[in-house]
């Protein structure tokens, strides 16, 4: 399906668009002459896109069943690949028209996907990046060269896609919110002639809607316990689900793993005749110097040792970089040049993101399970010594609050449990009680527990060595970021208010029922 401009390439895998370069990095991909559906260079822009059109599209997308906002355990039977497979077929299988790097894992998959995309872009490629969830607007999920899909392009996608689905859809239920966004990403990337698409799974892997791609490389980041109601109660069961993205005769790069998880991955890779590349045996990374703005690193692959600056803090981010570099090496892409340029446009909002106001220093991090909170607390203690810590904290159902709070207690913080606008938000009063039971100092007032109120009431007057950490969920970080950076949130005001209204309506119905 695809041809490469560079010579000395070895067709190493069974399917004809998967190649491994022998000492050369990949040239830009171009469609083969016999492709039935050629891609165009058109960057879909709807110059006459009105607010009304855009709002109707947003309304329609948010009206779809959204397992991110529901009790996913009760909807387990609805998690399958039939709907997304049928939808892709109706649209000419756009997911198979672009070389794909498919990324799964419990911790670090979003950061690793972004690092892979950034280095590819730095190497001269046009790169589509699909991640989830989002912080402030669903358009963040679909990006080309780190630019979110525009409002006009989203309207164009909807006007092209929904009529085809509605005309040809049979008796099965409509696509879900996540399936629709996944489908939109495939169509958008193929239509805009990207060279690669980096696709992050939502939950798991085997039955995730993204698992209809035909990747040239699979990547699995560290696996741990999370989403047990859907994926299983043990590391082995969860690893089995994540390993569902491993495809026949397609290489898979894996980050450092627990022994039990790694055994499962090796077993599945063996059955699929897929070469498994263990990052820990391929690369060594050494942090030379670290500050609040990033870290200077030396990495060694083979006989080559090279320096680089990573504009992200935390040992876990250097580990994510290691996985990204090994992934690119496996693709045949030489990362040296791309890595130097990648720092110019790498964007990872909500990942140990440092925000400074006139009066206070804030860290925003979307950590929401025990392993990610563990990485967060370790980085905070190492980077911000002699600070006192105030944590604005909220969670969504489905995660182990006790294990998270035990990790946060190691910072000896003052915890501010907050309400946030997510249908699965955990009651902050319950969080307060759990935190107290784990020896955490808590500041909680039921009538003043919104994120906005907590920020304005408690953090207007600064102390020089106070650090405010906002964490626990994407929803909490997204709301806080909108308050701290109102100019950025202004353009997404309609979408934010739509979510608030839906949640308030749901809460009102529940209260009436009680």
CATH code (residue 133): 3.40.1190.10
State pLDDT tens for residues 290-342: 988 899 999 999 888 999 999 999 999 999 999 999 999 999 998 888 998 99
262: left (phi over 0), alpha (psi -120 to 50) or beta: alpha
Please check whether residues 184 and 71 belong to one and the same domain: yes
Contacts of 321 (CB under 8 A, 6+ apart): 115, 285, 297, 299, 310
Instruction: Output the average pLDDT for the chain.
Output: 85
47 DSSP assignment: T
Same domain, 49 and 168: yes
β-strands 294-301, 284-291 pairing: antiparallel
In a domain, residue 23? The reply is no
- The DSSP bridge partners found for residue 354 are 363
CATH of the domain at 469: 3.90.190.20
Higher pLDDT, 42 or 51: 51
Count CB neighbours of 502 within 10 A: 16
Q: Over 60: is that where the pLDDT of 486 sits?
A: yes
In a domain, 34, yes or no: yes
**Is there a domain that residue 203 lies in?**
yes
Strand partners, 3: 30
Domain hosting 151: range is: 2-18+28-280
Q: Which residue has the tokens 């690119």?
A: 328
Q: Is residue 315 part of a domain?
A: no
Kindly tell me if the per-residue pLDDT of 9 is higher than 50. no
In this structure, what token pair is assigned to residue 222? 């560290």
Residues 256 and 404 in one domain: no
* 252 shares a domain with 398: no
Lowest mean pLDDT among 28-32, 105-109, 145-149, 387-391: 28-32
Which of 236, 257, 280 is where one domain is finished?
280
Q: What is the pTM of this model?
A: 0.86
If asked whether residues 272 and 366 sit together in one domain, one would say: no
Please report, for residues 210, 412, 455, 456, the alpha-carbon distance to residue 498 in angstroms, rounded to integers and kept in the order given.
26, 37, 23, 24
> Residue 10: beta bridge partners?
20
Q: Are 506 and 386 in a shared domain? A: yes
Residues 243 and 110 reside in one and the same domain? yes
pLDDT in tens, 171-223: 678 999 999 999 999 999 999 999 999 999 998 999 999 999 999 999 999 99
* 208 lies in some domain: yes
Residue 332 within any structural domain of the chain: no
Tell me what pLDDT residue 462 has: 56
**3-state DSSP helix/strand/coil % of the chain, to nearest 5:** 45, 20, 40
Answer for the pair 364, 476: CB distance below 8 angstroms, yes or no: no
Helix (H, G, I), strand (E, B) or coil at 102: strand
204: CB partners within 8 A, 6+ apart: 104, 227, 230, 231, 238, 241, 242, 244
pLDDT the model gives residue 67: 83
The C-alpha atoms of residue 262 and residue 277 are separated, in whole angstroms, by 11
Q: Which of 98, 198, 212 is nearest to 145 (CA)?
A: 198
Q: pLDDT higher for 278 or 460? A: 278
Within a domain: 506: yes
| Same-domain pairing of 506 and 389 | yes
Number of Cβ within a 10 Å radius of residue 384: 18
pLDDT score, position 505: 63
Please count the structural domains in the chain.
Answer: 2
Q: How many CB atoms lie within 10 A of CB 428?
A: 25
DSSP assignment of 261-276 equals HHHHHHHHHHHTT--E
Domain boundary among 280, 308, 330: 280
pLDDT (mean) for 222-229: 82
- Least confident residue range of 22-31, 81-90, 117-126, 146-155: 22-31
Q: Please count the helices (runs of H) and the strands (runs of E) in the chain.
A: 18, 21
Give yes or no: residues 275 and 358 share one domain. Answer: no
Residue carrying structure tokens 């050369």: 24
Residue 129: name the closest of 143, 109, 115, 118 by CA.
143
How far apart, in Å, are the Cα atoms of 27 and each of 21, 67, 135, 324? 10, 39, 34, 19
Please indicate, yes or no, whether residues 383 and 480 belong to a single structural domain of this protein: yes
**199 beta partners:** 102, 130
- Judge whether 318 lies within some domain: no
Decide which of 177 and 33 is more confident: 177
Q: In the structure encoding, which two tokens stand for residue 102, read together?
A: 């498919």
**How are beta strands 353-356 and 361-364 bridged, if at all?**
antiparallel
Are 76 and 208 part of one and the same domain? Answer: yes
The last residue of a domain, from among 280, 298, 313? 280
* Residue 264 neighbours by CB under 8 Å, 6+ apart: 236, 239, 240, 243
Q: What's the rounded Cα separation, in Å, for the pair 372 and 376?
A: 6
Domain shared by 45 and 187, yes or no: yes
């Amino acid at each position: 399906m695809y041809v490469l401009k560079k010579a000395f390439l070895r067709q190493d895998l069974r399917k004809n668009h998967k190649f491994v370069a022998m000492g050369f990095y990949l040239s830009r991909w171009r469609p083969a002459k016999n492709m039935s559906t050629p891609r165009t260079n058109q960057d879909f822009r709807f110059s006459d896109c009105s607010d009304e059109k855009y709002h109707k599209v947003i309304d329609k997308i948010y009206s779809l069943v959204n397992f991110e906002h529901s009790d996913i355990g009760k909807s387990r039977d609805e998690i399958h690949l039939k709907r997304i497979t049928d939808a892709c077929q109706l649209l000419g299988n756009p997911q198979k028209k672009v070389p794909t790097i498919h990324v799964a894992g419990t911790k670090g998959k979003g950061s690793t996907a972004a690092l892979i995309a950034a280095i590819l872009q730095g190497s001269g490629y046009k790169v589509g990046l699909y991640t989830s969830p989002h912080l402030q607007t669903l358009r963040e999920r679909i990006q080309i060269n780190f630019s979110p899909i525009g409002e006009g392009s989203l309207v164009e996608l909807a006007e092209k896609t929904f009529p085809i689905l509605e005309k040809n859809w049979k008796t099965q239920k409509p696509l879900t919110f996540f399936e629709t966004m996944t489908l939109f990403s495939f169509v958008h990337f193929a239509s805009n002639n990207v060279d690669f698409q980096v696709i992050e799974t939502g939950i798991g892997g085997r039955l995730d809607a993204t698992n209809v791609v035909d990747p040239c490389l699979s990547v699995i980041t560290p696996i741990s316990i999370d989403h047990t109601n859907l994926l299983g109660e043990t590391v082995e069961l969860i690893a089995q689900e994540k390993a569902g993205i491993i495809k026949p005769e397609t290489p898979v790069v894996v980050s450092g793993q627990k022994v039990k998880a790694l055994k499962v991955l090796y077993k599945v890779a063996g059955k699929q005749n897929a070469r498994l590349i263990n990052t820990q045996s391929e690369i060594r990374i050494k942090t030379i110097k670290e500050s609040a703005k990033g870290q200077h690193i030396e990495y060694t692959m083979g006989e080559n040792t090279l320096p680089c600056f990573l504009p992200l803090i935390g040992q876990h981010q250097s580990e994510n970089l290691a996985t990204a570099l090994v992934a690119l090496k496996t693709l045949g892409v030489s990362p040296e040049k791309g890595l130097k340029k990648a720092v110019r446009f790498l964007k990872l909002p909500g990942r140990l993101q440092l925000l400074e106001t006139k009066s206070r220093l804030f860290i925003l991090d979307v950590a929401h399970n025990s392993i990610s909170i563990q990485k967060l607390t370790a980085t905070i203690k190492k980077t911000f010594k002699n600070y006192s810590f105030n944590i604005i904290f909220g969670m969504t159902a489905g995660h182990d609050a006790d294990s998270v709070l035990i990790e946060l207690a190691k910072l000896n913080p003052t915890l501010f449990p907050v309400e946030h606008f997510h249908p699965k938000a955990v009651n902050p009063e319950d969080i307060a009680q759990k935190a107290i039971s784990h020896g955490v100092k808590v500041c909680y007032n039921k009538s003043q527990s919104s994120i906005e109120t907590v920020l304005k009431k408690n953090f207007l007057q600064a102390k020089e060595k106070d650090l405010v950490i906002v964490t626990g969920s994407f929803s909490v970080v997204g709301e806080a970021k909108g308050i701290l950076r109102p100019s950025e949130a202004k353009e997404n005001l309609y979408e934010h208010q739509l979510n608030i209204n839906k949640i308030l309506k749901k809460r009102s119905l529940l209260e009436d029922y009680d």
